[in-house]
Structure 1
Amino acid sequence: MSDLQVLLQRAIAFRERQDLGGALDAILLAAKAAPDDANVALGLAQISFEAGLDAADLYAAAQRLQPARIDLQRSRATALAAEGRHGEGEALLEAVLAQHPAWIEGHRCLCGMRATSGDSDFARSFPLAIERDPANFGLRMAWFHVLATARQWDEARTVIADAEAALGERQPSLLGKLFIASESGEAADDAALFDGVEGVEDVGLDLARVRHFLRSGQLERARDVCLKHLGKPAMRAFWSYLSLSWRMLGDARVDWLDAGMRDVRIFDLDFTAPELAQLARTLRTLHTMHEPWHEQSVRGGTQTERPLLLRIDPVIASVRSKIEAAVSKYIAELPPFDAAHSLLAAPRGRFLFAGSWSVRLRPGGYHATHTHPMGWISSALYVTVPDEADLGPAPSGHLQFGNPPPELALPLEPYGAVEPKPGRLALFPSTMWHGTFPFTDGERMTIAFDIIPAKA
């Protein structure tokens, strides 16, 4: 193995352990030794981006070495936006899409960039592309999905109707129409809505079916769709719906699965007031968006983009150290191993951050009820909380657990709630439903992350 390969492997190993400082040292040595190596250039850009450093120009250099990879232009645009250069990021994607109108990931990235900047016409790149490629059914369906995620039901219906008028009905458009009919409320009570697609095997369709069955009171059907995924990776997305099904059916197994608030733990971390103030100042500089992404739970606020707790920053490193100690304690004190359980089946050794970010809510802001199916353990660390007068009467601003999504209209009470306090960390199972109540005035800023077990 050459010296360059050794350095690359070292950078990869440090990155996999989420030691971005070590990874950056190794990849910088590799870049000095081989400045024109395409893999090294890409590694330098990626590690720099994840470490919280400026990376847009590094992605541009990497793309020049691999000009056929337009995905690197998406990465560069994302880095530009993270650096507060939204206009440049949008212009870059527009230029690439002018040459590659069928590039779906580019459209999605541009839509997200425009939506988070407050642009109401965020999806306008799609119709321009379809004018040039009218027979591209996949492009039309990607447009539909972007609009449906934003819950723009009328616009989404129009896109599907135009697609079918031009190219005929196909399975994706049929499923799209069923999804709209259920999620928009148009046919929420139609028990037979999904009967015509019983034989279609698709995880996304199964999630739509489960939600529809819960809405329409078909509780056994909802339960059975969830149970057919037991033992499969996709089950992470269905545990929370199985919980709702069991609760509605009075099935005692829900006590085994959720155990109420047993696995919700509070840790009041040892921050000083000056430390929290410095952390808040640091986080505010990272909130460069104006609005949240449509697919997120944030309502009335913003969320940071790149991995927060991997940043090379002494303020963030100090927070990460406190968080890791609390997570280790949480894991060590979990109930005994249970191979069938969504939380208790995971190995108890080393762990990694699957994602980490900050959310800054404005007055009236809140989190819609949601789960984190890609995680194992999830969190909320309160950095700033409005004072009592601005927060409003309890439970304003509280983090609530076990409450079903309101759009499912299920008569279930929450298991409990956590009161927000600066420096307080809440840890809980990623598959547990949770959301927050709006507050009256002031700023509510948190750090959140998902934990997964590290691979052996």
Structure 2
Amino acid sequence: MPTRQLFPTHFYEAQLDQPALLAELAGSCRALAAEDVAGKRWSKAHGYRGYTSYASLDDLPQRDPAFADLKRLLDRHVATFAAEAGLDLGGRRLKLDSLWVNVMKPGGTHSGHLHPHSAVSGTFYVAVPPGSGALKLEDPRLPMLMAAPPRDGTFIYAEPAPGTLFLWESWLRHEVMPSTAKEERVSVSFNYRW
């Protein structure tokens, strides 16, 4: 075989059949969006169209049983992803470092970024009305391609649904495409560290 594929980029997708958890999380996320004054202030100051608890609350699994239940599910899926991605953890497990709520209004987007100081990142989708916007993933080789001709697969668009879980290594650049939905998209994002 003259050509081999080297250094694959792993992306994990699961559909969690947890309707009761989705309902609990939807209520909890919307309550936080209404009550978290610091989060609303940060969102407004940083041009976030909607609400995020990213810079305001760091104890959601201790604060609300729905987030504690979600964390238990995430721990199992992250362990599976880490094994499938070939991460050598030396017998240790990745630990949840941060978890935050996103309630994105119609027209909202999140520009390209990565998650430094983490090993695995992801998003669990709670409410995904039609037109919410896909997760756009960027080929990590893009900055090095320089004079290379265009190629298929430079960007991959992952379309979520309620109950979808996406996981990726934190160095993978990604963005949230603009929402054309008529309702808010609700998700919970998180980082795991080694």
Short-chain TM bin: 0.7 to 0.9
Whole-angstrom distance in 2 between the partners of 1:377 and 1:269: 18
Measured after TM superposition, the shift of residue 309 of structure 1 is: 4.1
Aligned to 1:300: 49
In structure 1, the residue corresponding to 2:26 is in which secondary structure? helix
Q: Is the 8 A contact 1:291 1:300 kept in 2?
A: no
Does residue 421 of the first structure (1) align with residue 157 of the second (2)? Answer: no
The DSSP-based 3-state class of the residue aligned with 1:278 is: helix
Partner amino acid, structure 2, of 1:265? Y
Shift of 1:290: 5.1
Percent of pairs with identical residues: 28
CA spacing shift, 1:416–1:308, aligned 2, 3 Å: farther
| Residue 275 (str. 1) matches residue 21 (str. 2) | yes
Shift of 1:310: 3.1
User: Which of 119, 126, 149 lines up with 1:383 in the alignment?
Assistant: 126
- Aligned match for 1:398, one of 96, 110, 134: 134
| Correspondence 1:361 to 2:104 | yes
Secondary structure of the corresponding residue to residue 286 of structure 1: helix
User: What are the residue-to-residue correspondences of 1:15-414 with 2, within 5 Å?
Assistant: 255-256=6-7, 259=8, 262-272=9-19, 274-287=20-33, 288=36, 289=40, 292=43, 299-304=48-53, 305-335=56-86, 344=87, 346-347=89-90, 349-386=92-129, 388=130, 391=131, 397-402=133-138, 414=154
Deviation at 1:294, TM superposition (A): 5.7
Structure showing greater relative contact order (alpha-carbon pairs closer than 8 Å, 6 or more residues apart): 2
1:108-135 deviation line (CA, Å, top 9, x unaligned): xxxxxxxxxxxxxxxxxxxxxxxxxxxx
- Where structure 2 has 5 or more consecutive residues not aligned to the other structure, the ranges are 141-145
Structure 1: runs of 5 or more not aligned: 1-253, 336-343, 405-409
- Give the structure with higher Rg (CA): 1
Cα drift, residue 285 of structure 1: 1.4
User: Once the 2 structures are TM-superposed, how far is the Cα of residue 414 of structure 1 from its aligned partner?
Assistant: 3.3
Q: Could you tell me how far apart the structure 1 residues matched to 2:102 and 2:154 are?
A: 23
Counterpart Cα distance in 2 of 1:402 and 1:414 = 6
Give the partner amino acid of 1:424.
T
- For the structure 1 residues 271 and 306, does the alpha-carbon distance in structure 2 shift closer, same or farther, using more than 3 Å as the test? same
- TM-score norm. by structure 2 comes to 0.78
Q: C-alpha separation between the residues in 2 aligned to 1:312 and 1:345? A: 32
Distance 1:294 1:348, change over 3 A: farther
**Aligned to 1:433, which of 173, 186, 190?**
173
Q: Distance in 2 between matches of 1:426 and 1:255?
A: 23
2:190 corresponds to: 449
Once superposed, what is the RMSD of the aligned Cα atoms?
A: 2.6
Q: CA deviation at 1:323?
A: 1.2
The alpha carbon displacement at 1:312 in A equals: 3.6
The Cα of 1:255 is off from its aligned counterpart by 4.9
Tell me the amino acid that sits aligned with residue 52 of structure 2. Q
- Count of matched residue positions in the alignment of Structure 1 and Structure 2: 173
For the structure 1 residues 414 and 348, does the alpha-carbon distance in structure 2 shift closer, same or farther, using more than 3 Å as the test?
Answer: farther
- Give the C-alpha shift of residue 267 in structure 1: 1.4
More helix by share: 1
Asked if the contact 1:331–1:348 (Cα under 8 Å) also holds between the matched residues in 2, the reply is no
CA displacement 1:2-32 (0-9 Å, x = unmatched): xxxxxxxxxxxxxxxxxxxxxxxxxxxxxxx
Residue 349 of structure 1, CA deviation: 2.0
Shift of 1:332: 2.3
Partner Cα separation in structure 1 for residue 11 and residue 96 of structure 2 = 18
Amino acid across the alignment from 1:317:
A
Alpha-carbon distance change, 374 to 285 in structure 1, aligned in 2, over 3 angstroms: same
Greater strand content: 2
- Structure 2 distance, partners of 1:325, 1:316, is 14
Name the amino acid aligned to 2:185.
Answer: R
What is the CA deviation profile of residues 279-323 of structure 1, one whole-angstrom value per residue up to 9, with x for unaligned ones?
11111111231552766xx74122112125432422222111111
Q: Residues of 1 paired with 2:190 and 2:79: CA distance?
A: 14
Tell me how far 1:403 sits from its aligned partner. Answer: 6.2
